[in-house]
Structure formats: structure tokens, C-alpha cells
Structure 1
């Protein structure tokens, strides 16, 4: 997992061939309020917008998730968003089967820690990062970029 501000994103572009495309999209798009759903797609990169009421911690932990085929870059447009996190290797209680079509696997485990993103910050979540996003007491406005592994 990597947490940083968009102004420092260039430091991470060498980590994956599609990261530059993803960060260029975030740097060049004027985000005020995003539309929900698919916003952008190019080879190996898809960006989705989320706008609406956030979740409580308990609601978010129902979708404590990770991905096998994609790396998430989650970008905070609003004032803040909290996440739960735990290393995948320490998760022992699956919550259903892996969904290949949606590339998502859920766990019933509790996070080891919580962290908060603020406006113009991002988190890069690799397949080994189990995460519970969208925790906020206000309106959530964010972009999630799926980068093929």
C-alpha cells in the first residue's frame, strides 16, 4: 500500500507500466463532482466515479475486500475518506467465494488499522492489501482507478 498526494504521484509511475496513464488522467481532469460509473478507459486502466453518502465503519467492513487481477488507485476528491486495512496474508476468514467477473474477494476479518485520505490524496492498493473503503460521515466524492496487474 502507498499513500501520498497527487503532487508526488510521478514518484510511483515507474512501479507499473500503466501508472503514468492513471496519474495523468487524475492530474489533467477537473474534478468538482464526478458522475457515478465508468469515467475513463484506456488499455489496462479504467476509472470509476463515486458520488453520494459514505458508509459507517460497520457498513464498510461488510465489504472488506481485495482484488486478484487489479491494483486500485483510489483518489479522494472530497474532504476526507477513511479506510480499514489489513495484509491479505493475515486474513483467515473468507466472506463468500471469489467473484471472477467483478475481481473481488471479501473477508470477515477485522482491519489492523484505519487511515484517512484528504482532498487530492490517493492510496495505491495492491492485491495483497485488503481494504474497507468509503468510510465517511459526509458525502463521498472519489475516483477509483483499476489498473490491470
Structure 2
């Protein structure tokens, strides 16, 4: 997992061939005014814009998840937004089977920690990062970029 501010995003372009395209997209668009929804911006890059009421830690960890085929870049646009996190290697209690169609695997495990993203901060969550998001009060807005591995 990586946590940083958008102004430092260029430092991570070399980590994956599509990271530069993802961060270019973020720097070239009026992010706060993007409409909710999901769309592809390039092959292997999908953008999901989410606005919604923040939830409790207890409610959020019902969706404690990780992905096998994608890296998430999650950007807080209106927050703050809290995330739950645990390394996948420490998760021992699966919650159902892996969904290849949705590229998601859920766990019943308890998070090791919580962290908070302020507006303009992002987290890069790799397949080794089990996470739950949208924890907070009031309306939250975020962008999730799915980067195909």
C-alpha cells in the first residue's frame, strides 16, 4: 500500500505501465465535478466515481475485500474518508468464494489498522492489501481507478 498526495503522483508512474496514464487523467480533469459512474479511460484502466453518505467502521468491514486482477488507486475528493486495512497474508477467514467476474474476494477478518485520507490524497492498494472504505461522516466523494495487472 502507498499513501500520498496527488501532487506527488508522478513519483509512482514507474510502478506499473498504466500508472502514468491514470495519473495523467487525474491531472487533466476537473475531478470534483465528474459525475458518478464507471467508464474505461484506456485499455486496462477503469475509472469509478462514487459519491455517497459515509458509513461506520462496522458497516464498512462487511465489505472487507481485495482483488486478484486489479490494483486500486483510490482518491479522496470530498472527505475525509477512513479506510480499514490488513495484509492479505494475515487474512484467514474468507467470506464466500472469489468472484472472477467482479474481481473481488471478501474476508471476515478484522482489520489491523485504520487510516484516513484527506481531500487530494490517494492510496494505491495492491492485491496484497485487504481493505474497506467509505468510512466517515456526511457526504463523501472519491475516485477509484482500477488498474489491470
State the TM-score, normalizing by the size of structure 2.
0.97
Indicate yes or no: 2:76 matched with 1:76: yes
State the TM-score, normalizing by the size of structure 1.
0.97
Contact 1:84 1:113 in 2 (8 A): yes
2:72 is paired with a residue whose SS is strand
Contact 1:33 1:141 in 2 (8 A): no
Give the corresponding residue for 2:119.
Answer: 119
Indicate yes or no: 2:73 matched with 1:65: no
Question: For each residue in 1:73-119, what CA deviation from the matched residue of structure 2 results, as whole angstroms up to 9, or x when unmatched?
Answer: 00000131000000000000000110110000000000000000001
Measured in 1, the distance between the counterparts of 2:93 and 2:24 equals 37
Structure 1 stretches lacking a partner, 5+ long? none
2:117 is paired with a residue whose SS is strand
Measured in 2, the distance between the counterparts of 1:144 and 1:65 equals 14
**Aligned residues, how many?**
149
Measured in 2, the distance between the counterparts of 1:58 and 1:75 equals 22
Measured in 1, the distance between the counterparts of 2:34 and 2:135 equals 18
Contact 2:78 2:140 in 1 (8 A): yes
Shift of 1:42: 0.8
Matches within 5 A, 1:1-149: 1-149=1-149
Measured in 2, the distance between the counterparts of 1:8 and 1:133 equals 22
